Structures are given as structure tokens and as C-alpha cells.
Amino acid sequence: MKIIEGKQNIISGYSSYLQDESKLSYGNVEYLAFPENDKDISEFLKFASSKNIPVTISNGKTGVVGGAVPLKGALISLEKLNKIFGIKNVDNEYRVHLQSGVVLSDLFAYSENESFASEKYFYPVDVTETTAHVGGTVSTNASGERSFKYGPTRNWVRALKVILSDGNILNIERNKIFAKNYIMDIKLPNGNIKTIDIPKYKMPSTKNAAGYYAKENMDLIDLFIGSEGTLAVITELELALIKKPKNVMSLLSFFNTEKDAFNFFFSAVKELKTAVVFEYFDNGAFELLTPKIAGLPKDRKFAIFFETEFTDNTINDITSNIEKLLNKNNSTMDDTWGGFAKKDMEKIREIRYKIPETINETIAKRKQKYPDIHKISADIAVPPDKFTEMISYYKSKLEPLKFQYTIFGHIGENHLHMNIIPNDHEEFIKAKELHLDFAKKAVSLGGTVSAEHGIGKIKHQYLEVMYGKNGIQEMIAIKKILDPKLILNRGDVFPEEYLK
Ligand SMILES: Cc1cc2nc3c(=O)[nH]c(=O)nc-3n(C[C@H](O)[C@H](O)[C@H](O)COP(=O)(O)OP(=O)(O)OC[C@H]3O[C@@H](n4cnc5c(N)ncnc54)[C@H](O)[C@@H]3O)c2cc1C
């Protein structure tokens, strides 16, 4: 296994491994390892455990909360674990068996292009950033635009191979090991049992990527999904595939006002039963996109991007229904882009992708003058009946301050990303205060402080808002059993003071 040793060697030759898309960076790393198999990882973890060296797990480095950014000690990059072993059929379900470092776009291409069945299959979790690696998406329980229909990554994980920090390897299949009355027994390869208490906090009903999954009689596999590398290294996975719908169209409809766009969504989500995606762009997103996308309307600055399945028999009914809903909300098919040709669909997805990309570029420029600022990005979701209350709350606080901000994203799951792009240090401080305030509001409405990005190193305080000190201690009690030396992903999910 290739291991780069020495802080200076790593900083000078491998600095890209010291950052993720949060742009956090510490750089105090003495070892950078590139394992090629389970044995490499197991041995490296045993070595690190014996010397109490903290180990951070790095995969696609597209995370936005600093999870893969090492504070100190060692970093293991899983990029060489990039094999797709093949497809198997279990109980009439096709599953792809692969390593953790496979790039998501390679998984998409493989599952759609391999011929293993007479019909086309696909992996449905379309995380916007397709350079993420599958192990990263499982560790953060990532979602995509189509999660409106297909749910988050968790729903598609059928088996995991994980390596604990003492080097023990566990093969975990879904539906095999369950907790009983909040107690879970985990059998190690040598026959010893580790017993953990499942936390008793109540998870929100929304989609959620904050903290450990916890339910009275939960499946063991769900503990590792979304645990952000704090419990084990995931090395292999089995992910379920499903039949690819034959026909899908992507549409981007433009509206005059936020109210029209929301009302269109509220009706469409009820009436358009074939829909698979609902995304929202506000006028702040338009402001960012206008210099990049030719021909965006000048007067209609709110949009809903949606995708729907159709067949030859249903297309006429579906399009006339859409037209009716658009007209009711002061828009028309003429104010709509898209279609079902691959290039039309890709164009719309490209526009969607450009929103976070442009935010990141804008903040990167501002950072040149104010290095300590970063974007303030809320990943909040609330129950459907609280959606408008949450949006009104954001706006009531943001509008008077005249900050540059945008609210966009997964409206289908009541999960809009509120992003503030501070102009200077003063705005940054105020924006951080607002984020905490928004997190409190979301939790009071029964929502989550992170629906898909996770907690990482930058959202600890919001997790505490959600589950309280007690909830965090319950999670740490699990970590202490599975990672007794507390070496894995230090600084992620839990603040340092809790681990002392
Ligand atoms: C432009 C853009 C768009 C994005 N869109 C989305 C989106 O639509 N939906 C969404 O959910 N996220 C999105 N993200 C965030 C990011 O892509 C996801 O969080 C993704 O799941 C991270 O995968 P990764 O391989 O890059 O993980 P990394 O960033 O390398 O790691 C993420 C976390 O997982 C841990 N980890 C990684 N691999 C393993 C492993 N094998 N075992 C144990 N722990 C591990 C790391 O230590 C870290 O804590 C977006 C990011 C960007 C920049």
C-alpha cells in the first residue's frame, strides 16, 4: 500500500486531499494512505489504534461539511477501492456489488449499460454531484433529485462490509440483525459480542442525515448508513437497482412570483402521480444563473423543475394536465423549457447543477478578500404542513438585512437549501447567527437540521439543537463501543469536548 509520510510531503504533493467542497483545511497530517484492499485498511487501522493516531476517511471529497477533511493524524483515501464486481439477482432483485471508492457516475453508467436483464435497470439515487463516490454517499445517506420518488441512499443499501478501528471486519446484510427493545448485539468474527444501546431520541419524519439512525427494533445496517465515518470504514457494498422507466420528460417552468411557483407545486404534487422530481429555484438563484445561462426569462424569476414518467398512452393526458396547472398559476407551456430528448433533459439538470456550483465560485472570489468567510448553507427539511411557515420565517429574517441569498432545491421533500453568500466578515457573523436561529425554528416545526449533507465538522451545534446533549451522549456511547480509542473521523458529527 502506498503511504505518504510527513506533513510537508503531504502538503506539498497532495494538498487536494486536505480539503473537500466545504473548503475547510487544517493540514496537520502525518500519514496519507492509499489502501488497495481490506487487508491494507485493517492493518493500517490496527497500527493507528495501537498508536492512538486519529484516522480520517476520504472518498470523493465532494462533501460540503468538512467530513473528509483531516484535523490531524492520518488520512486514508479510498479512491483505489474502485472495482465493480458485478450484478447478482437476489430474491428477484438485481443488486450491484462494488467497492466503496467507485465514482457515482461510473455506477450509473455500469448499471444502465451492462446487459444482465432484458429490460434496462438503473441506480435511482441521483446525487447532483456525480463525482461523489458510492461509499461517501452511503456514509452521508445522500439524496438526489429523484429522492422525491425513490427516497435516500439508505433505501437502496442491501449489504455492507465494514472495518472497525480495531481491524475487525463485519459483513452486514439487511434484514439479518435487529435491535430488540433498543439493545443491539453485534457479533465479531472471533465470536465475541459487542452490545450497544440504541439512542432513544425521536428522529424527524422528514428525510434526514443528521446523527445516527435510531429506532427501537432497527436493522444493524442502518446504524452504519449515515454515520459519516465515525463508526467504521465501509469497504464494499451491495446496492439495489430498479427497472428504468421507459420514458421520462424534464420540464423547467417559469413563474412570475414565488406564490405562483409554490401553488403550482402544491397542485402538481397531488395531481401528477407520475412525477419523479420536483425542484424549486427562487429569484436569488436566477440572479446567479443569469450570467451563465443564455435566454433565461427576464420577468419570470421563479421556477419549478420537474420530471414525470409517461407512456404513449398517457402523454397527452399528462401534458394537458400540466398545461392546466400552469395556466392556473399564470404560466404556460411557452414559459416552460425541456422535453424528453436526452439533450433537453441534460440541459435542465445542468442548470440545476449550476446553482450550487455558482454559489461556490462566488464565495471563492469573496474569500480572496475575506479568507475566513464561507457560504452559510442550511440543509433543513420540515414536514409538508410546515413548509410555508419555514419559508416565511427565512424571508422575514433575511429580507430586512439585504443579504445576497438564495432558496432552492428539493421542494418535493420540503427540503430547500437556504444559502447566504456573505459579502464580508460582518455579514458572515450575522449569517451564522441566522443559521442557528433557522435550525431552532426547523426543529420546533418537527424538521431536521440536515436532510442530506450530514453534520461533518461544521454543523455540530445544530445537531445539539436537534437531539440535545443527552442525544449526543447516546451516540457517543455507541462510538465508544465500536471505536474504543475514538480514532475514526475525529471532529465529525461530535464536538471534541464530548469525546474527552
Ligand atoms: C455541487 C455539489 C452538489 C451536491 N449535491 C448533493 C445532492 O444532490 N445530494 C446530496 O446528498 N449531497 C450533495 N452534495 C454533497 C456530496 O456530494 C455528498 O455528501 C456525497 O455523498 C459525498 O460523497 P464523497 O464520496 O465525496 O464523500 P467525502 O466527501 O469523501 O466524505 C463524506 C463523508 O463520508 C465519510 N466517508 C466517505 N467514504 C466513507 C467510507 N467508505 N466509509 C466510512 N466513511 C466514509 C467521510 O469521512 C466524510 O465524513 C453535493 C456537493 C456538491 C459540491
Q: How many helices (H) and strands (E) does the chain have?
A: 13, 20
Q: Which atom of ligand 1 is nearest to the CA of 235?
A: 41
What's residue 26's pLDDT?
86
What's residue 374's pLDDT?
87
Measured CA to CA, the distance from residue 135 to residue 142 in angstroms comes to 10
Ramachandran region, residue 479 (left: φ > 0; alpha: ψ -120 to 50; beta: rest): alpha
CATH number of 248-444: 3.40.462.10
Enter the C-alpha cell of residue 224. 452504519
Q: Which CATH architecture has domain 2-80?
A: 2-Layer Sandwich (3.30)
What is the distance between the terminal CA atoms of the chain, rounded to a whole angstrom?
32
Out of 29, 127, 137, give the residue to mutate to test ligand 1, the one with the largest number of ligand atoms within 8 Å of its CB.
Answer: 127
Residue with cell 447532483: 128
What's residue 115's pLDDT?
85
The class that CATH gives domain 84-243 is: alpha beta
What's residue 22's pLDDT?
87
In the chain (500 residues long), the average pLDDT of successive 10-residue segments reads 97 95 87 98 97 98 96 98 97 97 97 89 94 98 96 98 97 98 97 97 97 98 98 98 95 97 98 97 96 93 97 96 98 94 92 93 92 92 98 97 96 97 96 97 98 96 97 98 98 93
Out of 26, 106, 133, 139, give the residue to mutate to test ligand 1, the one with the largest number of ligand atoms within 8 Å of its CB.
Answer: 139
Q: Is the reported ipTM for this assembly greater than 0.95?
A: yes
Measured CA to CA in angstroms, residue 494 lies from 23, 53, 261, 463 at distances of: 19, 18, 38, 9
Q: Which atom of ligand 1 is nearest to the CA of 57?
A: 47
Residue with CA nearest ligand 1 atom 45? 229
DSSP designation for 84:
E
Ramachandran region, residue 86 (left: φ > 0; alpha: ψ -120 to 50; beta: rest): left
Residues lining ligand 1, Cβ inside 6 A: 20-21, 57-64, 67-68, 78, 100, 127-129, 132-133, 135-137, 139-140, 142-144, 228-229, 233-234, 356-357, 452-453, 489, 492
Q: Where are the domains positioned within the chain?
A: 2-80, 84-243, 248-444
Among 458, 480, 291, smallest CA distance to 377 is for 458
Q: What's the sign of the alpha-carbon dihedral 376, 379, 380, 384?
A: positive
Enter the C-alpha cell of residue 397. 429574517
For 89, other C-beta atoms within 10 Å of its C-beta total 10
Q: What single-letter amino acid sits at 230?
A: T
Q: How far is the CA of 103 from the centre of ligand 1 (A)?
A: 11
Residue with CA nearest ligand 1 atom 18? 63
Measured CA to CA, the distance from residue 391 to residue 398 in angstroms comes to 11
Enter the C-alpha cell of residue 301. 424569476
- The sheet carrying 84-90 orders its strands as 84-90, 93-99, 233-240, 157-163, 169-173
- CA 397 to chain CA centroid, Å, is 26
Q: How far is the CA of 443 from the centre of ligand 1 (A)?
A: 24
Give the angle 282-309-260 at the CA atoms, nearest 5°.
25
Q: How far is the CA of 142 from the centre of ligand 1 (A)?
A: 7
Residue with CA nearest ligand 1 atom 10? 142
